[in-house]
Chain A
């Protein structure tokens, strides 16, 4: 089978364009095609499947930067014997997407090195795949206890610490199994996906407006990031280009979300080293930022602002308020960075190496703190100007902390720059290219790059796939925790601060 590659140019905002291409392939040449693009500098950002009457259509979305390129490889597998070759050899993230598809669609990855269940709950019936079965919901036996088969660490003297899914703090469910020797963590295993919401299926049948509202609930702290990604994916599918004014307003709100969440994280980091004073200051600042959000959008969490081609934002952007927050924030950072005990806890704790982070496809703050230059605002922009890029090298808690600090600083000045675009008068959003079946978007949320892919037919969403950056970052947490001491875990976990909800769809 020969691959026919379609290439086209597409505009997101006036002035910003992307090169997109797609091809169809078969299972024999899949590995080669994906390997080719990975060698070209693309990364695998999303894999989705769509059940068709006879087949399941699997789409691999690869994205490249400089220039912004997006390539889709499509493969059809049979409904009755769904199999595809595993890409685990060339891509760690592919191996996890494959496990997800195996659990939700029943597509078997051939030669997968670790074909364990990932998303699947232990008490789901054997032959029932939630994304595929059109039949009725089966009866779940709530009492059926199926322990997850953690890979044990052999050796005498090792003990296991089971933590979660119910935690002492009010966080979402996740089970952490430490294989430890005294205080040293030999291996950490994480079991997530305790609350499968069937979110991707919920999108099917929604109108774009409903989908945008629903996307706000993907991960509560990334309301704006996810709904923006959904909006842009829909706009992409419908071929809509938004004016610069709208794009800049969206960019401002994205940064606002980044600022309040990063401040919250910095406070939580201080709290986790027992420095509650630092947390108190940070909480104060976070509250101030959220009030500013509220004055901008009527919502502290920036909800209900987006629509296809539009954004609702108050005319008055309180730049003085932001400056006030920024200067208070500098005081907080002054306190934190000069505190020798805090520094001692942060410095050198839980290092995530560059090679491993790269191999796992880490995104966002975590990746940038380990020296990987990946930022959708620069690599896949929707606004004509981007923020100042920054990365750090060490990859320890301290650099994840400092990375957040630097990003807040960058965000503040970025907002100031963006503010002048708010006054640009331009025509409203318009359909610039013919509508297509699918739309794909990349948005740099505060955790990292969010990828959404939707398919729309007759104004109704027919398929949706959501990838939160946490999906890529979760596996890096156990790697960083290896040989770290047990009591440092809460701190390390907080320095990653990954989303459970965005991961468990």
Chain B
């Protein structure tokens, strides 16, 4: 694989990664969000795979396959369980409305460029140039955690946050040490289990997780 085509593919893939992240901020259907999370994780997997093939690093390829299994299959499947299958599967209420969310996401991206400028300037390689994309995915995930009310979306945002960290790692280095990565994975899994338990607990206590839903009506 030539440098040019590797970089081009790498950019595309990380662009797709960012696209799916942003689309989660847009989408209202919770199952749709989970699907986007899967797509996001697949983009992450491809990021690792590409780097692995380019660097001819078998460990990296192996790591990306682990990512595919855990992040694209495992975690989304668990999160999907937290969504009430019979009740409301839509995220109608948001602290920030959709249009504003979209524009804020754009602002976050711009901010990520400013934030990472000194880092990129330190080592201006072509791959590092896409660091802002990873950082903006990170910030978007934080934004989602802060502004979303549904537990499921918060879980998704959390998983997204984790994916973004990995993406940044792929951009910055040739891949993270396997141990660190697996440790992080376990952490996240643990947390998600806790949150799922919390969510189902909450659901049983209060029938509706989204009481303020009626406010949307006069829009």
A/B touching: CB–CB < 8 A: yes
Report which of A338, A340, A343, A396 forms a contact with B217, defined as CB distance below 8 A: A396
Q: B94 on the interface (CB 8 Å rule)?
A: no
The answer for the CA separation of A498 and B145 in the assembled complex, in Å, is 45
Q: A91 on the interface (CB 8 Å rule)?
A: no
Q: B32 on the interface (CB 8 Å rule)?
A: yes
Interfacial chain A residues near B7, Cβ < 8 Å: none
Interface residue range, chain A? 10 to 19
A340-B29 CB under 8 A given contacts A348-B217, A351-B217, A396-B217: yes
The answer for the CA separation of A352 and B217 in the assembled complex, in Å, is 12
Is B216 in contact with A340, judged by CB distance below 8 angstroms? no
Within 328-362 of A, Cβ neighbours of B (below 8 Å) are at: 338, 340, 343-344, 347-349, 351
Within 268-323 of A, Cβ neighbours of B (below 8 Å) are at: none
Is A343 in contact with B216, judged by CB distance below 8 angstroms? no
Q: A483 on the interface (CB 8 Å rule)?
A: yes
Chain B residue nearest in CB terms to A483:
B218
Chain B residue nearest in CB terms to A396:
B217
The answer for the CA separation of A311 and B185 in the assembled complex, in Å, is 70
The answer for the CA separation of A340 and B219 in the assembled complex, in Å, is 16
The answer for the CA separation of A307 and B219 in the assembled complex, in Å, is 52
Interfacial chain A residues near B126, Cβ < 8 Å: none
Within 175-219 of B, Cβ neighbours of A (below 8 Å) are at: 214, 216-219
Interfacial chain A residues near B149, Cβ < 8 Å: none
The answer for the CA separation of A344 and B90 in the assembled complex, in Å, is 10
Mostly, the B contact residues are mixed
Is A343 in contact with B218, judged by CB distance below 8 angstroms? no
Is B27 in contact with A347, judged by CB distance below 8 angstroms? no
B68 to chain A, nearest CB (A): 26
Interfacial chain B residues near A348, Cβ < 8 Å: 92, 214, 216-219
Is B28 in contact with A340, judged by CB distance below 8 angstroms? yes
Interfacial chain A residues near B214, Cβ < 8 Å: 348
Chain A residue nearest in CB terms to B213:
A348
Mostly, the A contact residues are loop
Interface residue range, chain B? 10 to 19
B101 to chain A, nearest CB (A): 15
Interfacial chain B residues near A347, Cβ < 8 Å: 90, 92, 216
Interfacial chain B residues near A483, Cβ < 8 Å: 218
The answer for the CA separation of A137 and B92 in the assembled complex, in Å, is 59
Interfacial chain A residues near B219, Cβ < 8 Å: 348
The answer for the CA separation of A483 and B219 in the assembled complex, in Å, is 9
The answer for the CA separation of A348 and B90 in the assembled complex, in Å, is 13
Is B27 in contact with A340, judged by CB distance below 8 angstroms? yes
Interfacial chain B residues near A344, Cβ < 8 Å: 28
Chain A residue nearest in CB terms to B218:
A483
Interfacial chain B residues near A396, Cβ < 8 Å: 217
The answer for the CA separation of A344 and B216 in the assembled complex, in Å, is 10
A340 to chain B, nearest CB (A): 5
Interfacial chain A residues near B217, Cβ < 8 Å: 348-349, 351, 396
Within 33-49 of A, Cβ neighbours of B (below 8 Å) are at: none
Within 25-55 of B, Cβ neighbours of A (below 8 Å) are at: 27-29, 32
Interface string of A367-386 (1 = CB under 8 A from B): 00000000000000000000
The answer for the CA separation of A348 and B214 in the assembled complex, in Å, is 7
Interface string of A448-492 (1 = CB under 8 A from B): 000000000000000000000000000000000001000000000
The answer for the CA separation of A340 and B214 in the assembled complex, in Å, is 18
Interface string of A7-47 (1 = CB under 8 A from B): 00000000000000000000000000000000000000000
A402 to chain B, nearest CB (A): 13
Is A340 in contact with B32, judged by CB distance below 8 angstroms? yes
A38 to chain B, nearest CB (A): 30
Interfacial chain A residues near B28, Cβ < 8 Å: 340, 344
Interfacial chain B residues near A340, Cβ < 8 Å: 27-29, 32, 90
Most B C-beta atoms less than 10 A away, residue of A338, A347, A351, A396:
A347
A182 to chain B, nearest CB (A): 14
The answer for the CA separation of A32 and B214 in the assembled complex, in Å, is 40
The answer for the CA separation of A351 and B29 in the assembled complex, in Å, is 22
Chain B residue nearest in CB terms to A351:
B217
The answer for the CA separation of A348 and B92 in the assembled complex, in Å, is 10
Interfacial chain A residues near B27, Cβ < 8 Å: 340
The answer for the CA separation of A396 and B90 in the assembled complex, in Å, is 16
The answer for the CA separation of A483 and B218 in the assembled complex, in Å, is 7
The answer for the CA separation of A349 and B32 in the assembled complex, in Å, is 22
Interface string of A245-288 (1 = CB under 8 A from B): 00000000000000000000000000000000000000000000
Interface string of B121-143 (1 = CB under 8 A from A): 00000000000000000000000
The answer for the CA separation of A349 and B216 in the assembled complex, in Å, is 10
A to B CB contacts below 8 Å, 15 in the list? A338-B29, A340-B27, A340-B28, A340-B29, A340-B90, A343-B90, A347-B90, A347-B92, A348-B92, A348-B214, A348-B217, A348-B218, A348-B219, A396-B217, A483-B218
6 smallest CB-CB distances across A and B, nearest first, come from A348-B217, A340-B29, A348-B216, A340-B28, A351-B217, A483-B218
